[in-house]
Structure 1
Amino acid sequence: MEIKSIVTILLFSILGLSLGANASIISSDDPWVDATEGITSGSTAITWFPANQNNSSSSTLDHAQTIIEVYTATWCETCIPAEEALNATITDYDVKVVKYHRHLFETEDPFGNNNTEGRWLSRYGPSAVQADFNARTPPTVIFGGERMHIGSYPTAGVSLEEEYSTSLDSIMRPPISNSSEFTFTWEDGTFEWSWNWEEDTTACRSNCDSISTELYLMIVEETAFFPEGSNGEEYYHRILRDVIPLGSSSIDYIPPQAWDEDDVSILIVMDWQESQSEETFLEVIPSLAVELVVLSLVFTALITPTEAKKRRVQ
């Protein structure tokens, strides 16, 4: 076999190995996917307080809690084992759980609204679709705004509790200084606040240059009795009744009335997002190393026989 043929086979073999290695990195057996598509982002619960009481306080980020966001529905039977596993998992953790109830085109579930559905679809819908699921698939459980678990069937050999615990243990602090402070006053339907924060890029998940934050006010009802739910639960917990962005330092706001009891609270949530730096040429070189070496070998092999023939002719 001529050297050209050998080198050609070698070239495609090595490139095939290279592509195979990349594919093995992209494909994953992890039971979770990134919660936000195309960005590095997360969420945390800064503070909470009863909605029926005037309140004035401040809280620093070192007292923040991991937020767990769940997408569910009152007719969803497969949501029951997922939520039971979650309840068992969080027993020893300091977390805040909020549950989005399916709303758009919904005839059986009374708890969601356009705002709750809008946040879910805009923030988490693209990642669910990328994972070949519907954007509104109950049950879906998201830890810290970073790890998304869709469905209620665990990987073979492990339990849902183990999968949830793994994701919960993996959540690191946000890339925000722990001394960042949120101060607020809630009085007679007026909410005023200030958010004095500093980024901490040493805690970035990626190679980031800067951090941006957005604040949201969430209305959470602790428990509601709804025996008409076809999944048979009757009592539904930690229901997200409304969510609004905090775009300015003051708003007038009337929370939705509780479904049955006076157990509505206000939860302040921070979404953070990393802005990544562009790769320099030197950072790109390692990923091209194998291909460049192979191409140089091919070029050398193709030239060498020609030069040898010239010498024999001379």
Structure 2
Amino acid sequence: MKPPPFTYCDPESVDEAVALKSEYGGDSLVLAGGQSLLPLLTMRLARPAALIDINEIGDLRKIERRADTLEVGAGVRQYELEDHSLVGELVPLLPDATGYIGHIEIRHRGTVGGSLAHADPAAELPCTAVALDATVVVRGPSDTRTIEARDFFQGRMITALAPHEILVAVRYPVTPWAAGHGFVEVARRVGDMALVGAAAVLSLDEAGRFASVSVAVSGVSDTPVRAFAVEAALIGEAPTEENIARAAEEIVPWVTSEDSLHATGAYRRHLGSVVVRRAVIAAVARARERSDAK
């Protein structure tokens, strides 16, 4: 199939891209990696009047540390999160989670900003953004604003982006050195979209109990879910398998996805507690490794 006709725009700067987005508004779409957008176009599920290609904007391809945050440009290719030493050092959850995205060929084209703006609730990068308390940076014709990741995702493939705005970067707080992380997902086949996934970042106190916990889950609702009930059930507790398993059950009421071609709602509820438990166990193991390495 062929895409519908559209005006192709090839801006060379963020300002030029924003001006085009302001001109065409909701009748335009942004082309980054194209791994999700191009199939939508060829199936004519998307019919934009204009396509704004941001691939030649170098300012969107930067990875930089800014004080206590790691800023990743929207145009950074996903595979770069796996290979970039600064990412692995400052936010080690990202390389682990990114490795689950499709196949290497997809990660060489897909972009960080493209995944976040597409807002698939089963995708890995939206889930990690919520778990890490990331901040999304968007640019409009009059100003730049920031949106907390948990507020950015508003529904299935719906975000807080205004029609005239472009996502330009995402800022991740630097993970404390002693913290552990874990990412687990279940898919029908390697490279498929996850049925359910979970990301966890946590730290242990001197007594070995949970001092801080952050957990997010994908594939269980119309947006990534921050598992506050799981976190509350773990804080102050010893990281035993029994405590972790009991806390993981707190995600079940938040699983709202209904039966689909790939999984029933009941199976997703089961998987929700499974992946949360596994992600937390993996994060505890890494936190202990860090503690032993002091």
TM-score (normalizing by structure 2): 0.27
Report which of the two structures shows the higher radius of gyration computed on alpha carbons.
Answer: 1
Greater RCO structure (CA 8 Å; 6+ sep)? 1
- Larger proportion of strand: 1
